[in-house]
């Protein structure tokens, strides 16, 4: 798996999302991919989306061998992975958690995609978008944008269960 962090550096280290051993993974910090490992939070967001940092991150992602790997991106990390796939990064599948800027995308990817949202996130895409672009989507009732910071590290959370089921469906 390729795991790409959000603008706050979550996860700092790989989160064992599947509760299973033997899964090869590579954790990538979005700040480092963007060429500015010294930035985080709003400063990194500004760098990514207003100062060309996303393009730098895409160049770094496109250098990776993602074949037969699943990409998991948290918030802006998912946006970076989605765009890298559009530009040629080969992945087996993509999971984007709270990647609200995907609402600006207009075409589905050519791989299985799963997008997960907090239902109370005001920037998540519309139901129409969700029914058109990703292969699978789910909104978690009452959850805000950053719900994944707790749910991704909580054993047996619905988020972890849904991600595990999606990945297991890819490798029968």
**SS3 call for 109:** coil
Instruction: Calculate ∠ Cα 71-74-80, nearest 5°.
Output: 65
Q: What is the model's pLDDT at position 27? A: 86
Residue labelled with tokens 């990817």 = 109
DSSP of 2-59: EEE--TT--SSS---TTS-S----EEE-HHHHTT-TT--HHHHHHHHHHSSHHHHHHH
What is the per-residue pLDDT across 147-171, written as a single tens digit (0 to 9) for each? 999 999 898 999 999 999 999 999 8
| pLDDT at 68 (0 to 100) | 83
User: Residue 155: what pLDDT?
Assistant: 87
Would you state the pLDDT for residue 172?
76
Q: What does pLDDT average to over the chain?
A: 92
**pTM (predicted TM-score):** 0.94
> What's phi and psi for 159, nearest 5 deg?
-60, -50
**Which residues are CB-contacts of 155 (< 8 A; sequence separation ≥ 6)?**
19
Q: In whole angstroms, give the CA distance from residue 27 to residue 47.
A: 21
Q: What CA–CA distance (Å, rounded) separates 103 from 63?
A: 26
Q: What is the pLDDT of residue 16?
A: 54
pLDDT tens profile 3-34: 999 999 999 865 555 554 456 678 899 999 99
């Amino acid at each position: 798996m390729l795991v790409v962090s959000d603008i706050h550096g979550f996860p700092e280290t790989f989160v064992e999302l599947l509760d299973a051993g033997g899964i090869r993974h590579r954790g990538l910090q979005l700040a480092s991919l963007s060429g500015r490992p010294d930035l985080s939070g709003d400063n990194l967001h500004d760098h990514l989306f207003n100062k060309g940092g996303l393009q730098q991150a895409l160049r770094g992602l496109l250098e990776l061998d993602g074949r037969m790997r699943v990409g998991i991106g948290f918030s802006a990390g998912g946006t970076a992975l989605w765009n890298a796939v559009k530009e040629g990064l080969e992945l087996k599948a993509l999971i984007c958690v709270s990647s609200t800027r995907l609402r600006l995308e207009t075409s589905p990817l050519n791989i299985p995609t799963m997008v997960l949202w907090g239902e109370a996130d005001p920037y998540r895409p519309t139901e129409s978008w969700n029914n058109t672009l990703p292969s699978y989507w789910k909104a978690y009732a009452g959850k805000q944008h950053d719900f994944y910071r707790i749910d991704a590290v909580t054993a047996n959370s619905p988020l972890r269960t849904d991600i595990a089921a999606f990945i297991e469906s890819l490798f029968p």
